[in-house]
Amino acid sequence: MTLEADDTITLTGLRARGFHGVLPEERRLGQEFVVDVTLFLDTAPAAAGDDLAKTADYGELAVRLAAVVAGEPVDLIETLAARLADVCFQISPLVEAARVSVHKPAAPIPVPFDDVVVTITRSRP
């Protein structure tokens, strides 16, 4: 599958508070994480029949992604990104691949910076 040739559904800027990180204060205080997700799937059947059941419900996706961010803490945002990718495949059997970016704009870095982002791309297992 070539990701460039597929239709996409993209959700950007999803915000949720999580307690991820390796430092004790990150686990105790938490911080806002921002998630961007692109789903790769064929949207033609949904468009042809105007049928939500033939695509991925991005409203449900947003709620489920936010629950993962707010849920069980992990040390690494790489691990968080992998968990979020799993949700993308659970949302619809039509999703062929997913690209997930996890932003950690308040990462504990002692020098000025704008953002830390981990981006992963996964194909359906």
pLDDT digits (tens, 9 = 90+) for 29-61: 999 999 999 999 999 999 999 999 999 999 999
The backbone torsions φ and ψ at residue 10, rounded to the nearest 5 degrees and listed phi first, read: -120, 135
Give the domain 3-123 fold: GTP Cyclohydrolase I, domain 2 (3.30.1130)
Could you give the CA distance from residue 124 to residue 93 in angstroms, rounded to a whole number?
A: 9
User: What b-and-e string marks burial along 66-86, b requiring 16 or more CB atoms within 10 Å of the CB?
Assistant: bebbeeeebeebeebbbbbbe
Please say if 54 is a catalytic residue.
no
Residue in 104, 105, 113, 121 annotated catalytic: 104
Domain boundaries, the chain: 3-123
pTM above 0.75, yes or no: yes
pLDDT digits (tens, 9 = 90+) for 112-123: 999 999 999 999
